Structure 1
Amino acid sequence: MKKNFTVKRGKILIGPKRIICLTEETTELLYLLGEEERIVGISAYTVRPIRAKQEKPKVSAFINGNVKRIQELKPDLVIGFSDIQANLAKDLIAEGLNVLVTNQRTISEILDTMQLFGSIVGKREQTKDLIEGWKSKLERIQNDSVSTKRPRVFFQEWDEPIITGIAWVSELIELAGGKDCFDHLKTKSHAKDRIVTASDVARTNPDIYIGSWCGKPVNFDWVQNHPDWQDINAIRNQKVYELDPSVILQPGPALFEEGIDQLVQLIHS
């Protein structure tokens, strides 16, 4: 009978031994669980933890990846995220590789997905402990914001076209004590369905602007001098902020380790 585990440096490894992480959040989780030795390739956009970029080969961007390089690393599992990676996943599957792509959008789905990944590498209980800690943190933050005034928040994920935040961002804004100006769009899983106009933004009159443009810095001049936005509260009161995409736009530990804390600071500053 073929064994389904490997003994490596005195440690029994259960599950896949050579994992490619096409996005950052899985890399961060495996490091938190002490399972980084399984990772044999990562996304070039990985910044968390800092060690990963120094230690692991970079094999992909976000939409595209080096299929030949991934094959050479002989992974027994490739993990990706989002329908945006569908074509890359298809190419890898066509080469006979095992590929797992998840499409989580809500906080609940994110936590469930991390539990799945933890179980895959034999760290079910450790992952559960992490998740329970994050849940408790979110509950404390939510309780602390119950009696506070809820400022209207416009979260911008992209500039042209203007795209507002994904579901988990909207949920975190509410937990942090804000009111998402476009919360009616949070159930839209595709970015193209969360496109709004500058006039739409002006009509909501946000008290706070938070930009997190995936892959590039916010152009504050563009935001502050937009002709349609000169009369909104956020501009008049200079409540225009930027939030690092690495802590808010990736569905993983960073949301709970740093993202939510920074949201609270910006919303209640």
Structure 2
Amino acid sequence: MKTYQDQIGNTLTFENSPKRIISLVPSQTELLYDLGLEEKIIGITKFCVHPYHLKQTKKVIGGTKKVHYEKIKLLKPDIIIANKEENTLEIVEELRKIAPVWVTNVVTIEDSLQMISDFGKLFNCRTEAQKWTDKINFAHKDFLDFINDKPERKVAYFIWKDPYMVAGSDNFINEMLTLNNFKNIYDNPEKFPGRYPEIIIQKIRIQGDPEIVFLSSEPFPFKDEHAFEIGRFTHHAKTIFVDGEMFSWYGTRLLKAFEYFKTIHNRIKSFD
């Protein structure tokens, strides 16, 4: 018997390494695949779109906020991989009646690397996990060198419309903004409580007057008409459509994200 502790402090004990895995988070599904665990993945959500072919070969058990418990029961999983932010406590507690639930909690790059290391131990793929950790650490260092001379810029990062919602404090998106030397005007939990506060768009200038407005591709797919509407209240701010996966997916996606961020900075430089 081996005992492990997940990222919210729960202890899980397994006689053997889990062989039947259900993943409730898209970025973690991608990580499991990249660790060479495709054959062990038996269930995923409808939002698990990378790699694309998994939706044809694995059982879809609902979304991140609404899962089909009966479908999960029938799959007889050894373990269910959830996330503190993506999946509700109610869902996690209900799933614990079916199988052990491993809950990740990723806010920083360090948390992401810890998750990769944990999966390496849990699923007996330490070598692959170490390879990814080494690659991410190398790319991270390279990016820090790249960003070193970039000026700080005030930004707002929109994730939703009706109501307008932005990335606030204590979340992975905000960590990625900070990494890029972007000063998130909504990173102020006293004025804007919650990880993703609702805002009044008409007040954006007095709330921080950003130089750059990022409109994410997910979870809400912002389009040109939304940029025009927001632009009426930001005036001088530049609007950039960004790939939301690069800012919000953790795990092995980080390796691609560092290179993607460089392209964002090159676009911003063209504005100057």
With normalisation by structure 1, the TM-score equals 0.81
Name the structure 2 match of 1:9: none
Contact 2:83 2:103 in 1 (8 A): yes
Between Structure 1 and Structure 2, the one with more helix by share is 1
Go from structure 1 to structure 2 and tell me whether the alpha carbon gap of 1:197 and 1:263 turns closer, same or farther (over 3 Å shift): farther
Contact 1:27 1:36 in 2 (8 A): no
Structure 2 distance, partners of 1:68, 1:244, is 34
Name the structure 2 match of 1:91: 94
Name the structure 2 match of 1:253: 252
- Please list, as runs of the form range in 1=range in 2, the aligned pairs for 1:218-229 lying within 5 A after superposition: 218-226=222-230, 229=233
Structure 1 distance, partners of 2:33, 2:139, is 21
Structure 1 distance, partners of 2:93, 2:20, is 20
Contact 2:152 2:183 in 1 (8 A): yes
3-state secondary structure, aligned to 2:88 = helix
Residue 18 of structure 1: CA displacement? Answer: 0.4
- Please list, as runs of the form range in 1=range in 2, the aligned pairs for 1:143-158 lying within 5 A after superposition: 143-158=145-160
3-state secondary structure, aligned to 2:76 = coil
Structure 2 residue aligned with 1:129, among 123, 128, 131? 131
Structure 1 distance, partners of 2:48, 2:176, is 22
Name the structure 2 match of 1:11: none
Go from structure 1 to structure 2 and tell me whether the alpha carbon gap of 1:189 and 1:130 turns closer, same or farther (over 3 Å shift): farther
Structure 2 distance, partners of 1:79, 1:42, is 10
Structure 1 distance, partners of 2:209, 2:55, is 41
1:111 equivalenced with 2:124 (yes/no): no
Name the structure 2 match of 1:172: 176
Structure 1 distance, partners of 2:258, 2:159, is 16
Structure 1 distance, partners of 2:247, 2:187, is 16
Structure 2 distance, partners of 1:190, 1:17, is 37
User: How well do the aligned residues superpose, as a CA RMSD in angstroms?
Assistant: 2.6
3-state secondary structure, aligned to 2:18 = coil
Name the structure 2 match of 1:216: 220
Structure 2 distance, partners of 1:79, 1:191, is 22
Structure 2 distance, partners of 1:142, 1:189, is 29
Give a deviation string over 1:148-191, Cα, whole Å, max 9, x none: 223222111223142225532222223234333333449x9953
Name the structure 2 match of 1:262: 260
Contact 1:178 1:267 in 2 (8 A): no
Structure 1 distance, partners of 2:103, 2:193, is 15
Higher alpha-carbon deviation: 43-52 or 171-180: 171-180
Residue 226 of structure 1: CA displacement? Answer: 3.3
1:56 equivalenced with 2:55 (yes/no): no
Name the structure 1 match of 2:5: none
With normalisation by structure 2, the TM-score equals 0.81
Number of aligned residue pairs = 249
